[in-house]
Structure 1
């Protein structure tokens, strides 16, 4: 258990030996779902997983902000005695990992940016259209659940339904989404709303491009080619970074390690041992 400087208890676990890779989950308000990633990496490196403040197995209390979560990530680093670390983030976690690398470049040996949404905010409208198209008739149930108070089981149903759109193969999408929801922890909607609101107010593409142009940390960007979040949103990040490699995983959506585990694992291990 990691204890932050303000006394918040964060769940964390480690496996393997060697170079330390700290995994930052998506959300905001979700929890670590990196079991399959850890299984691939742990035979070769030291893998550290954690649940962010208020999420999953961590203590459910705020405050919730990007800066606070960056400080919590640094508390994880200190707890495990790391001078430097590889930081891997998925989705919202990719935003967190990038922000940490910009704020603490001397603490980051490599950055792995998985299924992120880039430096701007224009992708949201396209995401909503793509979500509706991929859900098809199931979109009506999603809208119904979102529009009213829900039971705990309906909260889980809503998450599984929305997550199912994150996969390219419709025949397997619900199964993958159910796998992400097991074990199930309640989504922290307060955390989600607070950090998303802050991002809308302070996440400015022009300023971030300028900051990224000074970041010398070797970076791997991994995209699923069929992610419903438009991949062009990440282009300005790739172009701004001084040292970036990009791998696009064909026939995969937002969670490429479930749909294309061999290609995803190979991309990560090649980058970790050759960069």
Structure 2
């Protein structure tokens, strides 16, 4: 990057084809975890993924801002020789995709927002639903772990498992996925999470929705797990404000490709085909 940071990226598929797909992972503060999603569409278009700065193999120390993360994506597109891309963001990645579109709408060929962005007072409903999915003992243990000034490796894994298993519709499988993620999606950059969370509260995406609606590409959609603890009603409101179609995947939570892979694969393939085939046919 222009500030000498080094970002790790990977690509799957024929990199000469345009436009490519760029997968934007969530967090903030987690390394890329969308390796199971990329093969679903890599035969239709090349798929780029990267660890956001300060996560995974993109090792970096310093402060974080939305502007810097937006600039990172623009610089990566330049490095890849990509004038424009199809953006597919998940969770925090939908916020990043939206803020990138606000600044670089000319570089967004199409955009799919998966399980986000959540605007308005969605956290109240999220906390209530997570509480309903947890036992009193689990809630108490999570509070204890969150309150520790320092955590051991096993305590960190336990905290993340407790925090993440309620993301899924199926609690049994959800616990296994959360425990696996708690060991693989590490280390969590808590400073990054805190800094971008604080900036998001000071400069919420809610205040930019009118401008975002104008700058959205012709092909843009929302996709969500119907049983995500984050209230789907928040995405329904967003869909109305942005005039976008919203598809709900039944029997799936915040990572729908895990619980309903066939449904997610079919939707992503339809979306990507619609985004890249007309351009290639016309070229």
Does structure 1 residue 264 correspond to structure 2 residue 264? Answer: yes
Task: Report the equivalent of 2:141.
Answer: 141
Does structure 1 residue 65 correspond to structure 2 residue 65? Answer: yes
Tell me, what secondary structure is at the counterpart of 1:64? coil
Tell me, which stretches of 5 or more residues in structure 2 are unaligned?
A: 276-283
Residue 177 of structure 1: how far off its partner (Å): 1.5
Preserved contact between residue 212 and residue 237 of structure 1 (Cα < 8 Å): no
Tell me, what secondary structure is at the counterpart of 2:187? coil
Q: CA, structure 1 residues 237+215, in 2 after alignment: closer, same or farther (shift >3 Å)?
A: farther
Tell me, what secondary structure is at the counterpart of 1:42? coil
Residue 199 of structure 1: how far off its partner (Å): 0.5
Tell me, what secondary structure is at the counterpart of 1:213? helix
Deviant stretches of 4+, over 2 Å: 117-120, 178-184
CA distance in 1 between counterparts of 2:242 and 2:36 reads: 28
Aligned pairs (5 A) from 1:150-229: 150-203=151-204, 205=206, 207-217=207-217, 218-229=219-230
Preserved contact between residue 25 and residue 91 of structure 2 (Cα < 8 Å): yes
Task: Report the equivalent of 2:119.
Answer: 119
Cα RMSD of the aligned pairs, angstroms, is: 1.5
Task: Report the equivalent of 1:252.
Answer: 252
Preserved contact between residue 209 and residue 236 of structure 1 (Cα < 8 Å): no
Tell me, what secondary structure is at the counterpart of 1:9? coil
CA distance in 1 between counterparts of 2:205 and 2:99 reads: 12
Does structure 1 residue 13 correspond to structure 2 residue 14? Answer: no
CA distance in 1 between counterparts of 2:22 and 2:199 reads: 24
CA distance in 2 between counterparts of 1:126 and 1:97 reads: 24
CA distance in 2 between counterparts of 1:224 and 1:49 reads: 22
Residue 184 of structure 1: how far off its partner (Å): 4.0
Aligned pairs (5 A) from 1:95-106: 95-106=95-106
Residue deviations 1:69-128 (CA, integer Å, cap 9, x gap) = 1111112211111000011111111110111112111000011101114332x0112111
Residue 204 of structure 1: how far off its partner (Å): 5.1
Preserved contact between residue 29 and residue 54 of structure 1 (Cα < 8 Å): yes
Tell me, what secondary structure is at the counterpart of 2:247? strand
- TM-score in terms of structure 2 length: 0.90
Preserved contact between residue 118 and residue 234 of structure 1 (Cα < 8 Å): yes
Task: Report the equivalent of 1:132.
Answer: 131
**Larger deviation: 105-114 or 152-161?**
152-161
CA distance in 2 between counterparts of 1:199 and 1:184 reads: 23
Tell me, what secondary structure is at the counterpart of 1:83? coil
Does structure 1 residue 39 correspond to structure 2 residue 39? Answer: yes
CA distance in 2 between counterparts of 1:246 and 1:257 reads: 17
CA distance in 2 between counterparts of 1:184 and 1:219 reads: 29
- TM-score in terms of structure 1 length: 0.93
Task: Report the equivalent of 2:281.
Answer: none
Residue deviations 1:178-220 (CA, integer Å, cap 9, x gap) = 3333534210011000000000011152x32211231241212
